[in-house]
């Protein structure tokens, strides 16, 4: 199958790549562009490990074709930290030990970013429903919820 040339924006940078029509955005990110921060879990939209933002909206990269991203803006985990250091969400996940094996963590960080962009002061129920599409086999979720609550407080009242 002939490869198609796609131009998109990834983490604010214009990126051109060639992909086959059946390649998912997840495959393009990891295999064509070498951006392996986005993880593959289930590959069927159930686990959220491959969460990215597309035009600011939370989506699964495994359920989007690379060709569908033409002209859109993608944000991956590599675009979350700044040159000054970790994003407060990332720092709070570390502070609260809200990760163990780490495979789900990039997806949780991205999903939390989307949550706090939309709901800066979410209650626990809102957090749990919003993150229901992100599965974690290690933490039991409680530490993740605490990290998200703390990140929300920090973002609302930067030190």
Partner 1 sequence: MSAFAYMAPTSVEEALAALKKVQSAGGRAQVMAGGTDLIVQMRAVDKAPRTIVDLKGVKETRRVDIGATETFIGATLPSAELNEDPRLLKLFPGLLEAADLIGSTQIQGRASIGGNLCNASPAGDTIPALIANGAVCVIANASGGRELAVEDFMIGVQKNALQPGEFLVGIKLKNPARRTADAYLRFIPRTEMDIAVAGCGVALTLDAGGVCTHARVSIGAVAPRVLLVPAAGAALIGTRVDDAALAAAGAACTAAASPISDRRGTAEYRRKIIAVLCRRAGAIARDRALGAAGA
Kindly state whether residue 119 participates in binding partner 1, applying the rule CB under 8 A: no
Other C-beta atoms closer than 10 Å to the C-beta of 94 total 12
Specify the residue for token string 């706090």.
Answer: 116
Mark 104-136 as b/e (b = at least 16 C-beta within 10 Å). bbbbbbbbbbbbbeeeeebeeeebeebbeebbb
Whole-number Å distance between alpha carbons of 112 and 110: 5
Quick one: how many helices (H) and strands (E) in the chain? Answer: 5, 5
Kindly state whether residue 21 participates in binding partner 1, applying the rule CB under 8 A: yes
Cβ proximity to partner 1: between 70 and 97 the closer is 70
User: What character string, x for contact with partner 1 (CB under 8 A) and - otherwise, covers 67-106?
Assistant: xx-x------------------------------------
Strand ranges for 41-109 from DSSP E:
51-54, 57-60, 73-75
Kindly state whether residue 1 participates in binding partner 1, applying the rule CB under 8 A: yes
Which residue of 100, 133, 145, 154 would you call a contact of partner 1, by CB under 8 A? 133
User: What character string, x for contact with partner 1 (CB under 8 A) and - otherwise, covers 41-60?
Assistant: --xxx--x--x--x--xxxx
Binding site for partner 1 (CB under 8 A): 1, 4, 20-22, 24, 43-45, 48, 51, 54, 57-60, 62-65, 67-68, 70, 111, 114-115, 129-134
């Amino acid at each position: 199958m002939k490869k198609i040339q796609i131009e998109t924006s990834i983490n604010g940078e214009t990126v051109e790549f060639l992909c086959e029509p059946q390649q998912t955005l997840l495959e393009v990110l990891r295999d064509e562009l070498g951006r392996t921060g986005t993880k593959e879990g289930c590959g069927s939209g159930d686990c959220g490990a491959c969460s990215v933002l597309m035009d600011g909206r939370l989506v699964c990269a495994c359920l989007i074709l690379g060709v569908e991203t033409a002209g859109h803006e993608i944000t991956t985990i590599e675009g979350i930290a700044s040159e000054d250091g970790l994003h407060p969400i990332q720092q709070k996940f570390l502070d609260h030990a809200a990760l163990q094996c780490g495979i789900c963590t990039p997806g949780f960080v991205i999903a939390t970013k989307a949550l706090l962009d939309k709901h800066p002061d979410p209650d626990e129920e809102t957090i749990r429903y919003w993150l229901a599409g992100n599965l974690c086999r290690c933490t039991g979720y409680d530490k993740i919820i605490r990290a998200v609550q703390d990140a929300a407080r920090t973002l609302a009242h930067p030190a």
